[in-house]
Structure 1
Amino acid sequence: MDGLQALVDDIRREIATQTERGRVADYIPQLAAVDPGHFGIAITTVDGQEYVAGEADTAFSIQSVSKVFTLTLALGMVGDRLWNRVGREPSGTPFNSIVQLEREQGKPRNPFINAGAIAVADVLLAGHQPKEAIGEIVQFVRFLAGDDTIVIDDKVAHSETETGFRNVALAQFMRSFGKLDHPAEHVLGVYFHHCALAMTCRQLSRAGLFLAAGGRSPATGGTVVSPGRARRINALMLTCGHYDGSGDFAYRVGLPGKSGVGGGILVVAPGKASITVWSPGLNENGNSLLGSLALEMLAQRTGWSIFGA
């Protein structure tokens, strides 16, 4: 593993030479102001070593990467009954599509598109007030990362609440089909706030390590989820984690991953490491352009693809 530091340093240098950096998520005002020149990368191995380069300790809005953690919590609450509420198939449509939701009678295609994550937020609200559910999500992520300084960026949460009209429509549409148990505004409060979690590459890499370690936390030695559940979450990340760019990401990188429109990507190399990259400029599918390129370089040079070197 000693060569990993040299590798991440090389990747950072190569990324710095790229002139095409994608476009930031300008439909969320707080994200529109982020400089697309940022880049950070962090690798946390299952034996606890860390390798970082670039702005690995600069906090950014993790956005939909948080859906990995809310899915994990919801599965802990209701187990496989969750799949009565949300599917497990790639969407093949934009992450905020209403058309698909109507065609499928209000049942989201998977937990990583917006409608699916809204359904998961509804599950997490059971027996809780919105603030309590949000607090539990934050505490869970802090536990996974071993870091009590992780917080929600209130400005980003407010920005999404003020402009997230498509998500409001998705939630109300699902409610009309009887697919939400709680008022749409309560569910959306949980959804917008967990998407506004601010984390660094280092923190996010640590938080995702349980998925690389068969469901256990290498830091504490405790079990977060069963090995089977970790494997299934990874499978969903591979097939659905990059919206309708998931197939291309699997083809190029070959690792389970979850992207967010803040420019972050969490990737799992099972049995080896958890990796996070951050570059705010997005490609046409809403995934980090240079982050995806950096992960392709990493997978090629380490041979970590689950499909072989």
Structure 2
Amino acid sequence: MMQQILDDIAEQMAIETKRGKVADYIPQLAHVDPSQFGIAVATPDGQVYAAGDASTLFSIQSISKVFTLTIGLNKLGSELWTHVGREPSGDPFNSITILEYEAGRPRNPLINAGAIAVVDAIMMGRQPKTVMTEILQFVRSVSDDDSIGFDHKVAASEMQHRDRNAALAHFMKSFGNLEHEVDEILDIYFHQCSVAMSCEQLARAGLFLVSNGINQATGVKVIKPQQSRRINSLMMMCGHYDGSGEFAYQVGLPGKSGVGGGILTIAPGKGSIAVWSPGLNPVGNSKLGTKALQLLVEKTGWSVFAN
């Protein structure tokens, strides 16, 4: 049944004419073919269902913030919240506005400023390459796939066009809220965003958030149950930036988007869903990916608000 649902969704997405606009402020992403669409669902028993371009690699971009947040909570526990808040921003992902009002402390870990603060917190005086290795090993572990790697061309492209993110970081550092050198923090941040994964790999990687911090398919306990629930709550409130309320309204599941066109969505107790379509809506979230998730929830009843 699930396979048929995904096949039907992929077929419907293939004939869509309004596909959004690819992110062009990162030049390497501007070259991605917007006609592509993939969807995958991983269930706690280890099954993976997929349709469309679900095996094609793409840059996960801000979806990576879920993984560094998990690393941060494992390392620092509740101390992490001294570095970053837990409130929705209501602003674009790269906005500096609220930082000025709130003394350089980011609203949440899923906007750019917040993710930069999380990277600074998990560095702990270590060199960027060491932290990059830790992040990549974590992603490989939760997805149970050692083939996953960085897209170095994307990372270099982001570093060359880092002015906005550098401004966010320097602003936070001016308030004493970052400990390490800005370019070292950004080097790690851009590499985490450049991680290249397929929908199938990404769906597997989200399984620990489906079952209270445990990947039941592998038996690995990734994070404490309470922390897993809190990550899901942050994804629901903040995972789509200033489009988070609309996503919750339309889809009704915790989710995290990336400007590469991917969305990782969690149906607690049911499955981990990854969709990818490079064209974005005006607030920077995958246009067809969001539409596909609406269809999936309608067909499965997986919304957390369902009776």
Same fold by TM-score greater than 0.5: yes
Q: CA deviation at 1:127?
A: 3.4
Q: Does 1:217 align with 2:215?
A: yes
Equivalent AA in structure 2 for residue 52 of structure 1? A
Partner of 1:232: 230
Q: Say what the alpha-carbon RMSD is for the aligned residues.
A: 0.7
Unaligned runs of 5+ in 1: none
Partner of 2:161: 163
* Inter-partner Cα distance in structure 1 for 2:293 and 2:287: 10
Q: Does 1:59 align with 2:57?
A: yes
Runs of 4+ with deviation above 3 angstroms = none
Q: CA deviation at 1:219?
A: 2.7
Unaligned runs of 5+ in 2: none
Counterparts of 1:172-211 in structure 2 under 5 Å? 172-211=170-209
* Inter-partner Cα distance in structure 2 for 1:99 and 1:158: 27
* Inter-partner Cα distance in structure 2 for 1:194 and 1:17: 33
Partner of 1:82: 80
* Inter-partner Cα distance in structure 2 for 1:13 and 1:198: 25
* Inter-partner Cα distance in structure 1 for 2:47 and 2:205: 14
* Inter-partner Cα distance in structure 1 for 2:299 and 2:73: 34
Equivalent AA in structure 2 for residue 201 of structure 1? C
Counterparts of 1:1-309 in structure 2 under 5 Å? 3-308=1-306
Q: CA deviation at 1:145?
A: 0.6
> What is the CA deviation profile of residues 119-152 of structure 1, one whole-angstrom value per residue up to 9, with x for unaligned ones?
0000121131100000000000000111111000
> What is the CA deviation profile of residues 169-192 of structure 1, one whole-angstrom value per residue up to 9, with x for unaligned ones?
001111101000101111111101
* Inter-partner Cα distance in structure 1 for 2:50 and 2:277: 14
The 8 Å contact of residues 125 and 180 in structure 2, kept in 1 or not, is answered as no
Give the 3-state SS of the residue equivalent to 2:126 in structure 1: coil
* Inter-partner Cα distance in structure 1 for 2:305 and 2:98: 31
Equivalent AA in structure 1 for residue 99 of structure 2? L
Equivalent AA in structure 1 for residue 27 of structure 2? P
Equivalent AA in structure 2 for residue 39 of structure 1? F
27-36 or 220-229, which moves further after superposition? 220-229
Give the 3-state SS of the residue equivalent to 2:46 in structure 1: coil
The 8 Å contact of residues 208 and 216 in structure 2, kept in 1 or not, is answered as yes
Equivalent AA in structure 2 for residue 273 of structure 1? G
* Inter-partner Cα distance in structure 2 for 1:93 and 1:199: 27
TM-score, normalisation: structure 2: 0.99
Give the 3-state SS of the residue equivalent to 1:139 in structure 2: helix
* Inter-partner Cα distance in structure 2 for 1:35 and 1:184: 33
Q: CA deviation at 1:222?
A: 2.2
* Inter-partner Cα distance in structure 1 for 2:51 and 2:139: 23
* Inter-partner Cα distance in structure 2 for 1:4 and 1:257: 20
Give the 3-state SS of the residue equivalent to 1:231 in structure 2: helix
Q: CA deviation at 1:220?
A: 2.2
* Inter-partner Cα distance in structure 2 for 1:127 and 1:177: 19
